[in-house]
Structure 1
């Protein structure tokens, strides 16, 4: 008969099966007044868990929710299953603790767990290493480890061929045509010894495809692919030979691609990753003496900076206006004044906002022009209304903001589905600030079905704010319905 010593560790042969009355870590019996779910020695052994993940046994990874998450190739769900593992006690590990291990914020971890699967290999490898996930259980290779074996039907494929298949699968998901040319973009391929206008046109066509796919599905499915494409094509330009005329055209095309990657990072709510691409785009535009590309980069930089550094955002918009003087079109002028207007609103400068918005609307009346830059097509009446609404929110006038967003949702434009979904989420945000709880819940509910196809980190961030705002109104039936559907959809 085994004598139990409550609150102390036990030799391996004396361990009991884990039950609701046993410590899930060592199997020892718990005292009746123990509410932590851990015996005292196990609690003491993990007092440093705030600074680093614990060393877990191999059986940890056999827990069914963890195995399911790993099989689904979604590291965010793996992290959630990790946090809820009974090994940690009766209460799951807080998101704030795990986020601290991974070097991110609690809000970022929440988006990672509930959002689309991360495909950025650097982050996947870093987080998997931090959590000490065994390499053989992963679907990607850790630094210094061989590429994992992938079973597809009756065939086993490894290494470069697997990477090429993964890249094509991601490209297809994003709506990018996986043509023969994309084989050249996989990491195992050798760059061509020389480049001509054919490669420049190919680069430009990829930018157009990213732009079209972004309008339809949002940035989350596109961002990492665009960055990988940009990296590979930049390597081409660095190592290949080409003429001066091809070089200038290539610099402009790569600048456009860098701007597209930056915009996708912004929309995916990965803002810190965007600025290096825009700095590069400005440098390439100046090398090519391409003022139009430089203006586009400055326009995107103004968008990137307006929330955290609105004064710099104003300077970027003003610099773009100066650079475009003499050849700008009404639509481009409209966009640049919209950028300035929103920055003034964030600075709580009502007079500056109204002045720039008046200039934007006057320019918009000039209509489209044959010299409009290709990226400018999204500057429609709805875009003007949306920026007006966002500016009114920044000026703490939710009634005016809600009116703007309601006008957008009443007349949707299919070509810009992602923008419409974002405006609907902003309508919910404005309605909460108005105190219209049922209206906010109704607007937010309309967004949730769209998340199946349109994934945008910015939209998810707004919805998270809406959910937090409605949580204090859980007695309102509409609010309770949204929270239930929200939790089910994002889980």
Structure 2
């Protein structure tokens, strides 16, 4: 770490208070790491403990065991001058980081490799020195260390960022192949117990990301096996945070066809996260439950869970918020409310919610904005407002070429079908139908 890293006030204060647990928390949440904090799972893997143990270290009383203090201080690369105890007479070991290296071009490279490079450029991961591992002809490593684990975690983050901007259609196949490739070489490689737990968590996270991309690409049947795998890996690693994320995604997947099971998944996630869930995570889980209750036409259950979601959201962001939770914004809360009203056959209330989302769109989640705009068109069709439906659908058309989402495309086909019968007498509907047929059909 650069010298000024240790001047950051939370780090400096924690070390001055002689509380290494708080120093680790400040280390994880340092702005140096970017917008999102390092996950507890990753740092716990460095230290050779579980995520639950690290949580107790960060939030409990100060450590007093000198051997552990010295070992962890060396792993984190804390300068000896900042410590209140002496280190053993050996050089500190800095934490592992992925070191970018230049990727050479392979003559006669396979289609898979070209695809991976194209996706890497799209997702911003082209500088990774481990991209060669994704080539079908690459030899798997004989051993796995924390560098490879962090690489797998970075892929999840980059796919997530790219998905928010360009949608899942451009990413789904690549994410599935990345997951298959990394899972294959991880199954054959040797690694320590600490690395193994962190690796299971990272691969579970990657499986969840692949499942979500399959859902958004409207390839729902492909998503369930990834989520089943993610839950299994999370339990092997004793990582409740990853298991909760998988259950939340499973609730979303099951909501349309098995809403009762979707409710059970959301409730299971709420139970599993009791005691450590941040307000934003609680918000998401209550939103999942609310939408599933609405699909069951259970107005009371929907209102109850929606109220809990809004109360939880008032708790604000938290330093322990997981990276995937960033999309839980005021727009998302209002958008899920609108979807629930649509499920309850209250299109007027749904349209009000979607208008509110469009009035203050999130620049960081353009795909979600496109999705809720087409949902406004659906709600307007349901309540018989052809002009509003056509106007909202026209706003979506220029975006669907840039934000490729199978869900959005399918919903837009539905809107086109609904407005087609009105095109003869409604000028705006006719304008949309002609534009749609010319651009997309």
User: Residue 258 of structure 1 contacts residue 280 of structure 1 at CA under 8 Å; is this kept in 2?
Assistant: yes
The Cα offsets for residues 407-433 of structure 1, whole Å up to 9 and x where unpaired, read as: 111111110100000000000000001
User: Is structure 2 residue 369 aligned with structure 1 residue 420?
Assistant: yes
Q: Which residue does the alignment assign to 1:403?
A: 352
User: Is structure 2 residue 423 aligned with structure 1 residue 489?
Assistant: no
User: Is structure 2 residue 439 aligned with structure 1 residue 472?
Assistant: no
- Tell me, in whole angstroms, the C-alpha distance in 2 between the residues paired with 1:244 and 1:448: 51
- Tell me, in whole angstroms, the C-alpha distance in 2 between the residues paired with 1:184 and 1:157: 16
Q: Which residue does the alignment assign to 1:245?
A: 194
- CA RMSD between the two structures: 1.5
- Tell me, in whole angstroms, the C-alpha distance in 2 between the residues paired with 1:462 and 1:413: 21
The TM-score with structure 1 as length reference comes to 0.67
User: Residue 174 of structure 1 contacts residue 221 of structure 1 at CA under 8 Å; is this kept in 2?
Assistant: no
- Tell me, in whole angstroms, the C-alpha distance in 1 between the residues paired with 2:246 and 2:422: 43
User: Residue 168 of structure 1 contacts residue 178 of structure 1 at CA under 8 Å; is this kept in 2?
Assistant: no
- Tell me, in whole angstroms, the C-alpha distance in 2 between the residues paired with 1:282 and 1:164: 30
- Tell me, in whole angstroms, the C-alpha distance in 2 between the residues paired with 1:181 and 1:238: 17
Q: Summarize the Cα distance change of 1:311–1:272 in structure 2 as closer, same or farther, 3 Å threshold.
A: same
The TM-score with structure 2 as length reference comes to 0.74
Q: Which residue does the alignment assign to 1:338?
A: 287
User: Residue 174 of structure 1 contacts residue 217 of structure 1 at CA under 8 Å; is this kept in 2?
Assistant: no
- Tell me, in whole angstroms, the C-alpha distance in 2 between the residues paired with 1:471 and 1:251: 50
User: Residue 330 of structure 1 contacts residue 363 of structure 1 at CA under 8 Å; is this kept in 2?
Assistant: yes
The Cα offsets for residues 140-164 of structure 1, whole Å up to 9 and x where unpaired, read as: xxxxxxxxxxxxxxxx964x44432
The Cα offsets for residues 161-205 of structure 1, whole Å up to 9 and x where unpaired, read as: 443223312433455436442121111101001010000010001
User: Residue 123 of structure 2 contacts residue 158 of structure 2 at CA under 8 Å; is this kept in 1?
Assistant: no
Q: 2:120 aligns with which of 144, 167, 171?
A: 171
Gaps in structure 1 of 5+ consecutive residues: 1-155
Q: Which residue does the alignment assign to 1:234?
A: 183
Following superposition, the deviation at residue 250 of structure 1 comes to: 0.3
SS of 2:289's equivalent in the other structure is helix
Q: 1:446 aligns with which of 391, 395, 409?
A: 395
Q: 1:188-337 maps to which residues of 2 (within 5 A)?
A: 188-337=137-286
User: Residue 115 of structure 2 contacts residue 174 of structure 2 at CA under 8 Å; is this kept in 1?
Assistant: no
Following superposition, the deviation at residue 463 of structure 1 comes to: 0.5
- Tell me, in whole angstroms, the C-alpha distance in 1 between the residues paired with 2:140 and 2:173: 20
User: Is structure 2 residue 299 aligned with structure 1 residue 350?
Assistant: yes
- Tell me, in whole angstroms, the C-alpha distance in 1 between the residues paired with 2:218 and 2:112: 26
Q: 1:43-58 maps to which residues of 2 (within 5 A)?
A: none
The Cα offsets for residues 47-106 of structure 1, whole Å up to 9 and x where unpaired, read as: xxxxxxxxxxxxxxxxxxxxxxxxxxxxxxxxxxxxxxxxxxxxxxxxxxxxxxxxxxxx
User: Residue 173 of structure 1 contacts residue 221 of structure 1 at CA under 8 Å; is this kept in 2?
Assistant: no
Following superposition, the deviation at residue 341 of structure 1 comes to: 0.5
The Cα offsets for residues 113-143 of structure 1, whole Å up to 9 and x where unpaired, read as: xxxxxxxxxxxxxxxxxxxxxxxxxxxxxxx
- Tell me, in whole angstroms, the C-alpha distance in 2 between the residues paired with 1:443 and 1:409: 10
User: Residue 122 of structure 2 contacts residue 162 of structure 2 at CA under 8 Å; is this kept in 1?
Assistant: no
- Tell me, in whole angstroms, the C-alpha distance in 2 between the residues paired with 1:376 and 1:166: 29
- Tell me, in whole angstroms, the C-alpha distance in 1 between the residues paired with 2:301 and 2:395: 34
User: Residue 348 of structure 2 contacts residue 383 of structure 2 at CA under 8 Å; is this kept in 1?
Assistant: yes
- Tell me, in whole angstroms, the C-alpha distance in 2 between the residues paired with 1:203 and 1:179: 11
Q: 2:378 aligns with which of 429, 432, 451?
A: 429
Q: Which has the higher contact order (CA 8 A, sep 6+)?
A: 2
Q: Summarize the Cα distance change of 1:162–1:420 in structure 2 as closer, same or farther, 3 Å threshold.
A: closer
SS of 2:243's equivalent in the other structure is helix
Q: Summarize the Cα distance change of 1:487–1:370 in structure 2 as closer, same or farther, 3 Å threshold.
A: same
User: Residue 333 of structure 1 contacts residue 360 of structure 1 at CA under 8 Å; is this kept in 2?
Assistant: yes
Following superposition, the deviation at residue 451 of structure 1 comes to: 1.3
- Tell me, in whole angstroms, the C-alpha distance in 2 between the residues paired with 1:162 and 1:270: 23
Q: Which residue does the alignment assign to 1:187?
A: 136
User: Is structure 2 residue 334 aligned with structure 1 residue 385?
Assistant: yes
Gaps in structure 2 of 5+ consecutive residues: 1-105
